[in-house]
Structure 1
Amino acid sequence: MDPSRILAVRTAHRKAYTWQDRAALGTVRLLRWGMDFVSGYNSRPADTNTPSKAYIMTEEKWITRFIFLESVAGVPGMVAGMLRHLKSIRRMRRDNGWIETLLEEAYNERMHLLAFLKLAEPGLAMRFMVLGAQWVFFSGFSLAYLISPQICHRFVGYLEEEAVITYSKAIRDLEDGHLPAWEGLQAPKMAIKYWQMPEGQRCMHSLLLYVRADEAKHRDVNHTLGNLDQNMDPNPFAAKVRAQVQSVTGSTGGLRQLRENSRKET
């Protein structure tokens, strides 16, 4: 991954235009409140660097939050990919490249979780919370995706917006010297191998930058998928579709032409 792109990641928010958008955003904000409560999250005010008793985010609490966040974030891509896979088989039609991207997202989120698990061992209480959250979220998201995939992708887009904010605040805390135990900490070997971190950029700070960049990508991908026709539009992020997009760049058809091609093929 290009280092300049990793450093260029910024928080962003897509305005909720429709009732579907507002429903997705409202659900994310409700879940954010619950996640803050479970992980003991208490953000330092952005306008001050003065330590206070109200600020309680230590390295341990950040890791707890990351683990809980990633254990939930790994669910949507797998659920969506699974349901689209079954739908493709049931209808005996091609999926237009969606499954590939969705499963890649789930795999990537799981790698985030495994990287953080190398830095901390969750207690029994945390494991039970993750188990309960996964069961509830898997069941609820599966039902929701059957009803409205578009709302679900918008929901994931807003969820990833919050993830980018969380990692940005952790990075700022580390850069401001509020997390001294992480200043000289090396990233786990599996993380170095997975992200192919170059020499000199294999510390905890770099790990957080790589993870944040992944979350920003998931944010943009899901907001884009939420804008598409869930049944007919090809996935513009799939490798094969990207090649097709490049081949028709000079034409006026664009995504519309790809959609027509997909209809003819099915």
Structure 2
Amino acid sequence: MMMVSSRMAGSTLLRHLGPRLFSGASAVRGAAAAGGPACSSLLSRATASEPVPLHQRLFPVRMAGTTATPAVGGDRGQDEAKPSAAAKDATASYWGVQPSKITNVDGTPWRWSCFMPWETYKADVSIDLKKHHVPATLLDKIAYWMVKALRVPTDIFFQRRYGCRAMMLETVAAVPGMVGGMLLHLRSLRRFEQSGGWIRALLEEAENERMHLMTFMEVAQPRWYERAIVLAVQGVFFNAYFLGYLVSPKFAHRVTGYLEEEAIHSYTEYLRDLEAGKIDNVPAPSIAIDYWRLPADATLKDVVVVVRADEAHHRDVNHFASDIHYQGLELKDSPAPLGYH
């Protein structure tokens, strides 16, 4: 009985797949008619009596549907491959849905794929830059002097090369928000509870710091050994911060708060050199103009001003998060501060 059913199943499978397996040309022609230009290469191969691979005979239409849509712009707003308008119209995304055309507020095409127009904002440059959290407890003092110790090798290595210094700083500064947001996300799933908006706040902080990096990549291109240092520093810092956050979130947030204070100091020194003419005040990168909604004639000085304001916001958020833990509360018990918009 089992052998009869197996034979019936085999004959049914052969009846369905036979035309695709053994009549490659006709199957590919049908796929070309359904898939359009994306299957033209398969059709030409089939009509030329060239053997068509098995996976292409079985799934020709699926392969045509998974053709990637050319990205409009990149992290630097450059479209290296510029296909024709007909090719763009004929090419579908993975799910078969044409991407919507995104425009700027002035109606011009949006150049970036790393952030959208509704994610841009004007930085609050009026924020208090001199605010400092005086270390009161033992953990505060450990966090403060740890950050001060980390500044020494940074000063020795980069000295007055603030463009490269900012680039290195942002590769590290984008780690705490991602680690904190990830761990809060997992805890929210485990405990079936809300996060008070802190997951989004910390992930927004990480994304904001990453956009700082994308901006300064346009200002200072890293050398090969600087890239190697980034790999080493990020590998060590990510794991250390991850373990530190598991042990004591209040200590981890306090460390980040002091790191942001040092970032404010570094960007202040950067501005002094720009104003003194020691560093060329070049035009602002186009990605920075769109991200912070800067005027078209903005300069590098304007970029450093808004980045420093962002760092001051991160400083206040992380010190506030640490204070919540010192009060015996969870982050979910106090709403997260507003974002950057």
Return the alpha-carbon distance in structure 2 between the equivalents of residues 8 and 238 of structure 1. 14
Measured after TM superposition, the shift of residue 2 of structure 1 is 6.1
Q: Pick closer, same or farther for the CA change 1:9–1:169 going to 2, 3 Å.
A: farther
Deviations 1:4-32, CA, capped at 9 Å, x for gaps: x4156433321001111111111111111
- Residue in 2 that maps onto 1:30: 149
d(CA) in 1 for partners of 2:231 and 2:182? 20
The one-character-per-residue Cα deviations of 1:108-140 (angstroms, maximum 9, x if unpaired) are: 000000100012221110001000000000000
Query: 2:285 maps to what in 1?
Result: 188
1:95 counterpart = 2:195: yes
**Distance (whole Å) between structure 2 residues aligned to residue 136 and residue 146 of structure 1:** 16
Question: Which structure 1 residue ranges, 5 or more long, are not aligned?
Answer: 42-56, 240-266
Counting matched residue pairs gives: 215
Q: Distance in 2 between matches of 1:150 and 1:230?
A: 10
| 1:222 counterpart = 2:322 | no
CA distance in 1, matches of 2:195, 2:288: 31
Structure-1 separation of matches of 2:224 and 2:296: 36
Who is 1:244 aligned against? none
Amino acid at match of 1:186: P
Provide the aligned C-alpha RMSD in A. Answer: 1.7
Q: TM-score, normalised by structure 1?
A: 0.76
CA displacement, residues 173-192 of structure 1 (integer Å, 9 cap, x when unaligned) = 2112222x22xx11111111
Identity %: 42
Residue 199 of structure 1: how far off its partner (Å)? 4.1
Q: Which amino acid aligns with 2:270?
A: A
Provide structure 2 residue ranges, at least 5 long, that are not aligned to the other structure. 1-120
**Per-residue deviation, residues 38-74 of structure 1 (Å, max 9, x unmatched):** 32x2xxxxxxxxxxxxxxx2xxx11110111111001
Higher relative contact order (CA 8 A, sep 6+): 1
Cα distance, 1:232 vs. partner? 4.7
2:247 aligned residue = 147
User: Do structure 1's residue 167 and structure 2's residue 267 form an aligned pair?
Assistant: yes
Bigger mean CA deviation after superposition, 228-237 or 91-100: 228-237
Q: TM-score, structure 2 length as denominator?
A: 0.60
1:64 aligned residue = 164
1:11 is aligned, of 130, 135, 145, to 130
- Is 1:134 matched with 2:234? yes
Structure 2 Cα separation of the partners of residues 238 and 2 of structure 1: 14
Structure 2 counterpart SS, 1:221 = helix
Q: Please state whether the residue corresponding to 2:219 is helix, strand or coil.
A: coil
For residues 187-245 of structure 1, the C-alpha deviation after alignment (integer angstroms, 9 at most, x for no partner) is: 11111111011244x10110000100000110111111111123552233157xxxxxx
Partner of 2:179: 79
3-state SS of the aligned residue for 1:227?
A: helix
Are residues 1:205 and 2:301 paired?
yes
For 1:105 and 1:16, how far apart are their aligned partners in 2? 23
Q: What SS does the aligned partner of 2:334 have? A: coil
Letter in 2 for 1:153: H
